[in-house]
Amino acid sequence: MSAPSAAEAKSRHPQLIDRALEGEESVITRHGHPVVVKPVAKPAPAVSAVDLDWLAEQRTGRGAPLKDAGRLVTGLRDEGER
Query: What number of other Cβ atoms are within 10 A of residue 31's Cβ?
Result: 6
d(CA 11, CA 6): 9
pLDDT score for 66:
60
Whether 36 has a pLDDT exceeding 70, the answer reads no
Whether 81 has a pLDDT exceeding 70, the answer reads no
Whether 35 has a pLDDT exceeding 70, the answer reads yes
